[in-house]
Homo-oligomer: A and B are copies of this chain.
Amino acid sequence: MSNSNQATETKSSIVITPEALLEHWQGHRKLTRKMIAVFPEDKLFSYSVGGMRPFSELVLEMLGMAVPGVKGVITGNWQKLNELPAHLKKAAPTTKTELLDRWDEATEALNVLWPQIPPHRFLETDTAFGQWEGPGYFFIFYWIDNEIHHRGQAYVYLRSLNIEPPAFWDRY
């Protein structure tokens, strides 16, 4: 088998490119942003079904994983937001606008950081945040899946408040 054939065969088994995976995630993040935007502000920080966390806390969990996580995939250094030096720590948002601003900051940061992921890091095994062992793609999928999971929870919150959520496929 020639090198040329090897290259062709390798290329043909690509499931998704790094660029497309970022687009996929940012599409989901656009939908999550719409969910924040449509959530009544007073309910965003307090409303719960079945004793579960309010949507704002779920959103903060997503934010705590996304940018710090991608930095970890890039560098191999894993730093939780709440372990940052005091002068770099931000207080939790208390308004919808603040939460949306925090979301938009992360959107920009992800776009800047993503192309800095060394390609081999997607398949390379590491220990995320000193706790979870797996390949880079596993962590990234976990953060995306966790966002979908908790956002699905927020769909029920909204429906139980008689508010129509944005369509699941509406990621534009």
Give chain A's interface residues, CB within 8 Å of chain B.
2-4, 6-7, 9-18, 20-21, 24, 28, 49-52, 119-120, 122-123, 135, 137-138, 141-142, 145-146, 148-153, 155-162, 168-169
Contact = CB atoms under 8 A, between A and B. Distances in A.
Q: Which of A28, A52, A148, A158 has the most CB of B within 10 A?
A: A148
Contacts of A10: 7, 10-11, 14
A13 B158 CA distance: 40
Identical subunits present: 2
A52 B21 contact: no
A149 B162 CA distance: 19
A145 B15 contact: no
10 contacts: A7-B7, A15-B15, A16-B137, A16-B141, A50-B161, A146-B168, A149-B155, A149-B168, A150-B152, A152-B153
B49 A13 contact: no
A36 to B, nearest CB: 16
A122 B51 contact: no
A164 to B, nearest CB: 11
Q: Which of A11, A122, A135 has the most CB of B within 10 A?
A: A11
Nearest to A148: B148
B159 A14 contact: no
A150 to B, nearest CB: 7
B13 A156 contact: no
A141 B3 contact: no
